[in-house]
Structure 1
Amino acid sequence: MIVVAVTFVALLAAAGVRAAPGVLMLPLSMHFGWDRATVSLTGAVGILLFGLTGPFAASLMQSFGIRRVMLGGLALMGMATLASLWMRESWHYLLTWGVLSGIGSGAIAPVLAAAVVNRWFAERRGLVMGLFSASTATDALVFLPALAWLSEGGAWRPVVETVGVTCLVLVALVAVFMPERPTDVGATRFGESEAEAAVTAASAPLAALPMLAMAARRPIFWLLFGSFFVCGFTTNGLIGMHMIAYCGDHGVAPVAAAGLLTVMGVFDLIGTTASGWLTDRYDPRRLLVGYYALRGASLLLLPAIDFGGIGMAVFAVIYGLNWVATVPPTLALSNRAFGDRAAPIVFGWIVVGHQIGAALAAYAAGVVREAAGSYEPAFVTSGVFALIAAAAVLALPSLRNCRKHPARTLSAN
């Protein structure tokens, strides 16, 4: 299906924009003399705005169309990253890669995935969301090794040029090939008959705020928000931003470190797709408990692992299997609790929790590295947070029956 392919590629581009600052950390420090805390701040701001943009982007998708929001987000990412070629001060980097790219990428993922899944699929949602979430893994497979190779010797401009041009090329791809809704191509949602198909009313552009007010009255929202905070804290903010630099502290070259992330990406692709398949068949709560517990254990063990060969390979496999495996079960719980129409926007607010956690980890880990001379305290803290999240998920209520009557949950308090 063309819509799946185009959405996947757009998500891949957004993941690449968010991953690039991790590759740029050492080259920018070498070229401009900025310390890691300064460079990390831009990454943290970008991650935070990526999350905060999501709920409003989801609302705009319902009001003005998924395709238009995708075009705007990709164009903003492309122009902002290319503008950084002329940067001279750290605030230029903050404005282009932090503020503008953060807003642009937030208009693409992951609320885009949730919106497309709910609009185009009545069945197999977990599997499709797993495939979309695996775009992060494919980013590790495609972008990171190439960007790391381009940055060898401290070069940063080739990385910026590659990311920016890719985003602008995708603007044309989306403009030509992305349909707005199933009826545009004479179809209905996958798994839905024509008799079951219904036209849903568009939301107001600022519907994100009333949706937040509604969701905030329900404990399940805060449990999902909190667990996703930990998810971001232990993935994008820490591993995504600092893993290459952490490996560098142990004598591992950037290309080799990117290769390690590639191994994670391979197993993330497997694990996240499998997570989507499992989400369609088993209790999402139990899946989340297992994912967070496994992630916490792997992070706690990392400082004790020899950074050569087998130890890091084992970590890459274990960690990679559940990098973003939490996304399909979290979206499934959101859909069941809040219904198809509200869920993409509510999920956008849950993702805000993810990005707050990621932003905090991205900045704090850089500060810890500067103050302590080591990343170990940051990784141990992240491992403990993941284990706490695994325990907290057990408090989530059972929502087995909400799939059949999603509208009933919207008015529940």
Structure 2
Amino acid sequence: MSSQSKAEPAYRWVIVAASAVMLAVSMGMMVNGASVFLIPLNAEFGWDRGSVSLINVAGLLGLAVGGIVMGKIADRSSTRRVALFGAIVLGLSILAASQADQLWQFYGLFFIAGMLGAGALFAPLVANVGNWFVASAGLAVGIVSAGQALGQGGVPYGIAILIESMGWREALMVMGGFTLVVLVPLALTIRRAPIAEQVAGGAADEAPTPLPPHIVTIWISAAVLFCCTCMAVPLMHLVPLIQDRGLPLEEAGSVMFVMMIVAILGRIVFGKLSDILGAVRAYWIASCWQTVLVFGFMQIESLGAFYIFAIIYGFGYAGVMTGVIVTVRELTPVAKRASALGITTVFAWIGHGLGGYQGGFFFDLTGNYTLSYANAAMAGVINLIIVGALYFTIRRKSGPTLSAAPA
């Protein structure tokens, strides 16, 4: 066996495929799967939509906290055990939610599903995928990230069909059972990357990173806070913006669906671009794409123009998340990658929350979305400055060429 084949075992693609499916199911449920339960729970219990929406907030809060805790555990122990634990907790929590009849029960169960379920999957799995690759790490992470994007579009759609055919309780039961049946066997296929095992056992030394890991984590966390504030505005407020133009909800929703489908391709392409140009450069390009175009949504009036612009915007903005993940992978040592990714993810979720909230707040204040989308562009500019400063700082310390995939 050649040294290259030893460094790049074929099993790494099994890890990519399994991780992509696991993130599709888990993140599709936790990030926006609860949205399809708004009207059914309102109709059955009379809870207002704001209170029901907090179910999703509870899940995201749990996901943010769990990313830190479970990331640290994964760095120090077995990724397979952490993923298996997360798969079981997530499935059982969804099953338990099917029997809930009080809001606090939904809040608690979704918080647990996020913290100990999906939180045990996202950061550990993504960090583990990056560790399996010496070359083409960006492409691999892009594929896994694309799986998450597919789940965020497909899971809510599938649940909506189940609710229409059998009711919300039965839909949750089916989703909980499906989660266990799919994720548990896949978790058993997860293996810790050979390089991580060697580093943990003291059998391999890592090349030094250009900046201390805690500095990198703080720097990227600051950047992702603003880039996700920018990103969240069209994700949360594009559909109502289109409706404000006099177009029906179904057509407005179809624009968002097209944008998310294109985003799947964008995540993969920008992953490959990270391998060619380096992670920080690819991250900056995707962020620039998003920042320059985000206010353009305000200039559009017709449905056809919205479709075209959503395709263009969706392809580029999608590269931001891939860029963040690969940048963390590139600039942190193997032993700290899951922890660093867990921490930066917290700030990503905070940014999503801030962006979505300010979008609604300034619409209520002014009666239109002009200021909301302008604030998104401003946040994007701040992100570009932070990422640019990171790039030039590393360039000074590492020389004129930044490696796309350091060993």
* TM-score tier (shorter): 0.7 to 0.9
State the partner residue of 1:81: 94
Taking a change above 3 Å as real, the CA distance of residues 56 and 29 of structure 1, as seen in their structure-2 partners, is same
**Is the contact made by 2:75 and 2:338 (CA closer than 8 Å) also made in structure 1?**
no
1:312 aligns with 2:306: yes
Paired with 2:371 and 2:79, the residues of 1 have a C-alpha distance of 41
State the partner residue of 1:193: none
1:302 aligns with 2:314: no
State the partner residue of 1:225: 221
**CA offsets, 1:115-135, max 9 Å, x none?**
2321x2122111111111111
**CA offsets, 1:187-210, max 9 Å, x none?**
x67xxxxxxx9712279xxxxxxx
Task: Quote the offset at 1:366 in angstroms.
Answer: 6.0
Structure 1 residues not aligned, in runs of 5+:
183-187, 190-196, 204-213, 408-413
1:7 aligns with 2:3: no
**Is the contact made by 2:274 and 2:404 (CA closer than 8 Å) also made in structure 1?**
no
Alpha-carbon RMSD? 3.5
State the partner residue of 2:130: 117
State the partner residue of 1:411: none
Task: Quote the offset at 1:352 in angstroms.
Answer: 1.5
**Is the contact made by 2:239 and 2:252 (CA closer than 8 Å) also made in structure 1?**
yes
Structure with a larger share of its residues in helix: 2
Task: Quote the offset at 1:342 in angstroms.
Answer: 1.9
Matches within 5 A, 1:274-293: 274-293=269-288
Task: Quote the offset at 1:256 in angstroms.
Answer: 5.0
**CA offsets, 1:301-358, max 9 Å, x none?**
324433x531321232133213441233333433343322223321221112112212
Any idea what SS the aligned residue of 1:121 has? coil
Task: Quote the offset at 1:375 in angstroms.
Answer: 6.3
1:395 to 383, 389, 395: 389
**Is the contact made by 1:139 and 1:265 (CA closer than 8 Å) also made in structure 2?**
no
**Is the contact made by 1:244 and 1:254 (CA closer than 8 Å) also made in structure 2?**
yes
The amino acid of 1:69's aligned partner reads: V
State the partner residue of 2:107: 94
**Is the contact made by 1:137 and 1:264 (CA closer than 8 Å) also made in structure 2?**
no
The amino acid of 1:114's aligned partner reads: A
The amino acid of 2:332's aligned partner reads: F
1:333 aligns with 2:327: yes
Taking a change above 3 Å as real, the CA distance of residues 381 and 232 of structure 1, as seen in their structure-2 partners, is same
State the partner residue of 1:200: 199
Task: Quote the offset at 1:215 in angstroms.
Answer: 4.1
Paired with 2:158 and 2:244, the residues of 1 have a C-alpha distance of 21
Taking a change above 3 Å as real, the CA distance of residues 360 and 172 of structure 1, as seen in their structure-2 partners, is same
State the partner residue of 2:155: 143
**Is the contact made by 1:25 and 1:245 (CA closer than 8 Å) also made in structure 2?**
no
Deviates more, 1:348-357 or 1:254-263: 254-263
Paired with 2:265 and 2:290, the residues of 1 have a C-alpha distance of 16
Any idea what SS the aligned residue of 1:11 has? helix
State the partner residue of 1:208: none
Task: Quote the offset at 1:174 in angstroms.
Answer: 2.2
Taking a change above 3 Å as real, the CA distance of residues 79 and 247 of structure 1, as seen in their structure-2 partners, is farther
The amino acid of 2:74's aligned partner reads: M
Provide TM-score, normalisation by structure 1. Answer: 0.78
Any idea what SS the aligned residue of 1:180 has? coil
**Is the contact made by 1:149 and 1:255 (CA closer than 8 Å) also made in structure 2?**
no
State the partner residue of 2:264: 269
**CA offsets, 1:200-238, max 9 Å, x none?**
2279xxxxxxxxxx744x2x4333112211233344x55
Provide TM-score, normalisation by structure 2. Answer: 0.79
Taking a change above 3 Å as real, the CA distance of residues 370 and 21 of structure 1, as seen in their structure-2 partners, is farther
Taking a change above 3 Å as real, the CA distance of residues 173 and 49 of structure 1, as seen in their structure-2 partners, is same
Paired with 1:255 and 1:364, the residues of 2 have a C-alpha distance of 25
Taking a change above 3 Å as real, the CA distance of residues 102 and 58 of structure 1, as seen in their structure-2 partners, is closer
The amino acid of 2:257's aligned partner reads: T
Taking a change above 3 Å as real, the CA distance of residues 274 and 29 of structure 1, as seen in their structure-2 partners, is same
Paired with 2:90 and 2:225, the residues of 1 have a C-alpha distance of 24
**CA offsets, 1:86-108, max 9 Å, x none?**
33333222222244334411111
Deviates more, 1:59-68 or 1:21-30: 21-30
1:51 to 41, 58, 64: 64
1:60 to 70, 73, 82: 73
Deviates more, 1:146-155 or 1:341-350: 146-155
**Is the contact made by 1:271 and 1:325 (CA closer than 8 Å) also made in structure 2?**
yes
Paired with 2:262 and 2:166, the residues of 1 have a C-alpha distance of 29
Any idea what SS the aligned residue of 2:389 has? coil
Taking a change above 3 Å as real, the CA distance of residues 30 and 373 of structure 1, as seen in their structure-2 partners, is farther
State the partner residue of 1:106: 119
Paired with 2:238 and 2:164, the residues of 1 have a C-alpha distance of 16
The amino acid of 1:261's aligned partner reads: M
1:25 aligns with 2:25: no
**CA offsets, 1:154-206, max 9 Å, x none?**
96445534432221112432255x14236xxxxx67xxxxxxx9712279xxx
Structure 2 residues not aligned, in runs of 5+:
1-12, 203-211
**Is the contact made by 2:63 and 2:111 (CA closer than 8 Å) also made in structure 1?**
no
Task: Quote the offset at 1:271 in angstroms.
Answer: 0.9
State the partner residue of 1:181: 192
State the partner residue of 2:8: none
The amino acid of 1:86's aligned partner reads: Q
Q: Work out which structure has the larger RCO, using CA pairs closer than 8 Å and 6 or more positions apart in sequence.
A: 1
Deviates more, 1:261-270 or 1:20-29: 20-29
Task: Quote the offset at 1:276 in angstroms.
Answer: 0.8
Task: Quote the offset at 1:282 in angstroms.
Answer: 0.8
